[in-house]
Amino acid sequence: MRVTTEALTAAASDLSGIGAATSAANAAAKLPTAAIVPAAADEISGAVAAAFSAQGQQWQQVSAAAQDLYQRFLLLLQDSAAAYQEAESDIARWLGGLGSLFMSGAVGPTVPGVPSDGSQPAGSPQPPQPPPTLPLTG
């Protein structure tokens, strides 16, 4: 799985739109589903209306809990996108500074005891020389 700041930001934006649509739908359905009027004045119509009203009220409770969970998830997603963006910026700044050090020659690959210009330090043993060649006579 690959995570990018752009993907997290886009997901948070998409979720925000979905949440707004869901909230609007729940608000529109609140009164019609929680206050059902009996179809007639008889006992059975009253019981059916009461059962549907109770069901509507339970749905509103579940919907409110889901909306709370959604809000917390959305905030976590937005915070994650911000944290990724901050980390990417910090890394870019750090790498940019490191690159400028290498480019300036202030820092570079070194071997202990060897000057950075590649010359041999004073007093160091010289590398062995190849043996002299003898002319062949025959």
Instruction: Record the tokens describing residue 82, joined without a space.
Output: 């911000």
**115: which DSSP letter?**
-
Task: Return d(Cα 138, Cα 126) in angstroms, integer.
Answer: 36
**Residue 120 banded pLDDT, cuts 50, 70, 90:** low
Question: Which of residues 112 and 30 earns the better pLDDT score?
Answer: 30
Task: Measure the CA angle with vertex 3, ends 14 and 83; round to 5°.
Answer: 80
Section 115-132 average pLDDT: 66
* pLDDT value of residue 47: 93
Domain ranges of the chain: 5-32+41-104
pTM of structure: 0.56
Tens digit of pLDDT for each residue in 23-63?
A: 888 888 877 777 788 888 899 999 998 998 888 889 889 98
Task: Return d(Cα 7, Cα 14) in angstroms, integer.
Answer: 10
Instruction: Record the tokens describing residue 110, joined without a space.
Output: 């070194």
Instruction: Record the tokens describing residue 74, joined without a space.
Output: 């959305």
